[in-house]
Structure 1
C-alpha cells in the first residue's frame, strides 16, 4: 500500500513554502531516512526524508511550486525495488578504463630514478622513448629527452611564420550574456525585512572603538587550557561580546526592548541573536537566556549554530525570537559598517576587523589592536544618550574582562 509523503507542519509565523529541490526521481529506490526533497521557507530550509525503504512511485508537486503546511508531496511504495540511478555511459567508462590502463603501463616502465626526474620536470612519460629492457625508461632516457626539448622548441619556433602586421582591434560582436533567475524565497524575505527596517524605523548608528589587547592577552594565556577543559571548545571573541552585551542590556533595558504598535515591550531576559552568513543569505539564530550561559556555553552554541546554518539544519525555533543581535563583519575583513536593525528589536551591535593602530596610552603613542564597534538603534525608543552609554559600557567591559566575571 502506498505511503503518503507530506510537508512538515509549518509554525504560525510561516505561511507557506516552496519546493527547492527533489533529490529523487519517480521510480527510484530510496532508503529509510534518505533525503527526498528540500522545502525552502521564509526563514529556513526544511528537509523531508523517506519514512521507509521502498520506491518513490509518484511526485505530486514539482520544483518551484508553492506548498502549504502538511500538503501531500509524493507517494512511496514501501518494500518495493526501483531503478538504480544512472551511472557512467558504458563507452565512456570503457574509454576511461583503457586510458587508466595505458597510464598504469607507462608508469610501470619507469625506473625509480627516471620517475623522480619525470616528476621534478613535470614531463609526460608517454613522450619519452625507452631504451631499456622491454622498453623500460631509464634515467639516461629522461636526461636525453630533457636535452632535446629546447632544440625541438627552437626548431618549432624557427618554422613559425613571421607575425603579420598588427591590425586594428576587432570589434567585439559576441553575445553579451545575461542570466535571469528568480530570487529565492529566503533572499526575498531577507530583502523585505531589511527594506522594512530602513523604512519603518528611525534607525541611527553610533560608533566607538575598543582596545582588544586585554581580551587577546587573556585568550592567548588560557586558550589551550580552556579548549582542554571544555572538550575542544575554542575560546573566541564572540563569547566576550555576548556576555558584555548581556550585562549592558541589564543596565539599559530600552536597548533590550521591542516596539509592538503603540506599546513598548520590556524583556526581562536576554535572548541574543548571532548573525550567521550562509550560501542562502544572512540568518540570525538565537542564544536563549544568554545571560545565564558561560563563555564555554556561548562559544559551543555559536559553533553549533554556524555549522547547522551552513548545512541548512536550523529549525524555525532556532530562528524565532531574540531581543538583541550581535553581528561580526570583521570575519570578512570589514573595518567599519552600519548594521541594519532586526525588527522588532531596537538594537544591534556590529563587530569589525581587529587592526593595529597608533593610540595614546598614558600620554604615549603605542600600537594597539583596535576594533571599531557600531550600535544601530531605533531612535523612536532609544535616545542618543542611552545608546552611547550602552556602547561605552560594552567597551569598558571588553577592555577590562574581569568586570564581566564580577558584573561591575
Structure 2
C-alpha cells in the first residue's frame, strides 16, 4: 500500500495485520500531511510524537472547542459546555468538581472494591472456561463507573448498550443516536439528585455552582455522558487489546507474572493506544512540521502513531513491559490529560492481577473480530479459553 492511498480514517486499515508497517512508513515519509475526509473536510494528520505533543499542549493555538473527534461532521453542540470541548478557565471550572472522584487519593478509596470486582469477574470467566473477553472485561469499568454515579443495577445493561452505540456505531448519525438514548436517562437522574443529592458524582455535578450559579442541567448531562462513555469504553478495549498483545508476543504472558504492574500497565496502554486520535482546530495561522496551517483548519493527532514513534520509543513495535520512562499519549497530555487516568490504571492493574492470580494458561479460541471504529481501537469479539491455576 502506497502512502498516497493510506486513509487513516478507514477503520479497516486498523484491523490489518500490517497496520504497524503501513503507519510507520507513512510517519517516516509524511509526518504531517493534509487529507480530504468525507465528513470533516480537509484534515491535517499529525503522526509524530513531538509534533503531536505540541498540538495537544498548546490550547491557545489548537482549540478543543471545534470538536475532539473526527466523524462529527461539524462543530459539536457541547462546545464550551463539556470538559472535552473546552479550554482554559472554562475547562478548569468543569474539571474541578469531578477531580476528587478520579484523583489518586480518591481511587485509593475504591481500590479494594475494584480488586474484588476484577477477581470475581475473572473467577466467573475461568469457571466458564470459554468466554468472549470483550464482554467479560466490560463488567469491571461499567460497575465501577455506575457505582461512582449511583446508577442502580437494573439500569446498567442500558449504559453498556448505549456506550457501544455512541462510540462504535459506523456513522455520525448512529453515534449521536446512542448518546441520545443515554441523555434523557441522565436528565432524569440529574433532576432527581438536584432535589435530593447524595454522595455520588451525579449529585456533585448537579449541585455544582460556578460564580454562585448552578451548572445548567444540559452541561451537567453532557459531561456525565462523556465521562460514562469514555470511562467504560477506554478500559474495556485497552484490557482486551492488552490480552491480544500479550498473546501475540512470545513469552509476554509469562513475563507479565514477574513484571512491575505499574510499568507494565503503562506499556500496555502505550502499545494498544486504543484512543486512535484526538482532534483540534487551529485558532490562528501557524506552522506545523513545515506546513502552513490556517485558522479554522482541523488537526488530528494520531495517538497510536505517536506512541509508536521510534524517535521517542526504543523498539516501539515491541511490548517492553519494563519500559521506563514511558511518556505515552494514550491518556492524553497537558490540560486535557484524562481526568479518569488514575482510575483507568487502577482498573487495568486489577484485571491483569486477577488474570495472573487465577489463570495458568490463556489462549485464543476462535478468530477475533475487530470493531469498526477510529475512535476506540478494539475488538467486538475476542474468544478465549482460560485454564485455571
TM-score range for the pair, normalised by the shorter chain length: under 0.3
Larger radius of gyration: 1
Q: Which has the higher helix share?
A: 2
- Say which structure, 1 or 2, has more relative contact order (CA 8 Å, 6+ apart): 2
Q: Which has the higher strand share?
A: 1
